[in-house]
Structure 1
């Protein structure tokens, strides 16, 4: 059984002589959240559409769950859920009616699955309210509910937080984290919001003018960016012991002057500060440091983001 959900092999897509994808070799491991980063026109949506079976490559192959063609690839795509561009909803229907209509269209057995996916995304209590009266965040969650029909193992999401207000972005992020951690769903997510991707993704791919420039884990990204939390407390030795034993990491340094550079738990600064304070330490300085993520990606693509 393949350890990868998605692999592309020299994937190329040309439009009127111009390459939207140029020999792309992308790999997404099972259980990961893969942040796909690139400017408009970089090739993100083209690759996503090919992976979902909505477009065909000019050259190269797509491998899903170890399947590369024929009936095997068709069957593998049944294990995928996706939101590509805006969710296609029936505006005059309720949330339940929208999901039920999609269930019937796709031939998915079991009406109970409708209630199940609405509960997962928090829309089980919308009653007779029509989709046309939903907020943008609710519409995105309804689209996600539809994509979860059939219990997919892999979600492909193209700009799922686009246009959401800050609260909607947070809700979507937490929902995707739960789907990944509690249900083991692998997620491919493209987004322009780099700070948001950093709080969500475990792996990254950077694409520019159809070329996949780099793939890296969040740990590798932190090392390249030298991201860390700068911590100054009244008892550095005690803080080092607390970090190692209570936060369960040795990924830190005690610098001259007793300043601690913590390279772990970057996405959970509140947990770090709370743990230190609960251990009786006086926190004098506490701030994220290092190169800005947006600056890193801008440098990597060789121009303005």
Structure 2
């Protein structure tokens, strides 16, 4: 069994007006939630469409579940569920009728799977209500129920929270977490909303103008965006002693320039400054620093100069 559900090698897609993907080498591990981040037009949807078999690369290759041959990858796509762009629904049909129609179109055996899919997304009690009268959040969940037909091992979701109200965003996030943790479904989520993805993703890929800039884990991203109190005093060694002995912390670093980065007591900076001053230290600089995730992303794509 392959460690990866999706890998691309030098994946390139060109159109008449330019390059949508430029030698992209992407890897999605089994069991992960992969947040695919980029601005609109960065190449996210193009890669997703190629992975789902809805478009073809100009150059490069796609490997699914360890298979890379054309016939094998087509067969492997039966193990994928996807929502690309907006869910394709029959507005005059109920939730159950929509899922059943898609089951029949895809030739999936067993009518009981319809009820299971609706239960998974919390739409089992919608009765005779037609899809045209659903809220946007309900429509997204119905699309997800359809994507879950056939018990996929890999879900591909293109902007699944786009247009949802705050409660709908929370509901979708919790549902995807449950599918990943309880059913071990690997999930690829394309989004330009990093603040939402950081509550969900275990791995990230950042794409900009068709180029995959970086892949990193949630832990690596957290380290890059770590918050701290920047401290500059006349005696760094004495300040370190105060932090250890009076504030009971070793969560700090003395930097080459003699400044201190304190990763503890972030919610109570007054205690830190008071302890330092009470020890006779001259505080030259004292300020919170670090980046939020949006700032990190913006700098990474070159939108903000350091």
Q: C-alpha deviations, 1:73-117, integer Å up to 9, x for none?
A: 111000000000000000000000000000000000000000000
Distance 1:201 1:227, change over 3 A: farther
Name the counterpart of 1:125: 125
Name the counterpart of 1:210: 210
Correspondence 1:257 to 2:247? yes
Name the counterpart of 1:97: 97
Distance 1:260 1:109, change over 3 A: farther
- Residue pairs, 1:1-305, within 5 angstroms: 1-16=1-16, 18-227=18-227, 257-258=247-248, 285=268, 290-303=290-303
Specify every segment of 5 or more residues in structure 2 that has no aligned partner in the other structure, as ranges: 230-242, 253-266, 270-287
User: SS of the counterpart of 2:213?
Assistant: strand
Deviation at 1:290, TM superposition (A): 3.4
1:258, 1:289 → 2: CA distance?
21
Q: C-alpha deviations, 1:251-280, integer Å up to 9, x for none?
A: xx9796346869xxxxxxxxxxxxxxxxxx
User: SS of the counterpart of 2:53?
Assistant: coil
Deviation at 1:119, TM superposition (A): 0.2
2:246, 2:32 → 1: CA distance?
37
User: SS of the counterpart of 1:11?
Assistant: strand
The two structures, once aligned, show a CA RMSD in angstroms of: 2.2
Specify every segment of 5 or more residues in structure 1 that has no aligned partner in the other structure, as ranges: 230-252, 263-283
TM-score, length-normalised on structure 1? Answer: 0.81
Q: C-alpha deviations, 1:101-137, integer Å up to 9, x for none?
A: 0000000000000000000000000000000000000
Name the counterpart of 2:274: none
User: SS of the counterpart of 1:78?
Assistant: helix
Aligned residues: 260
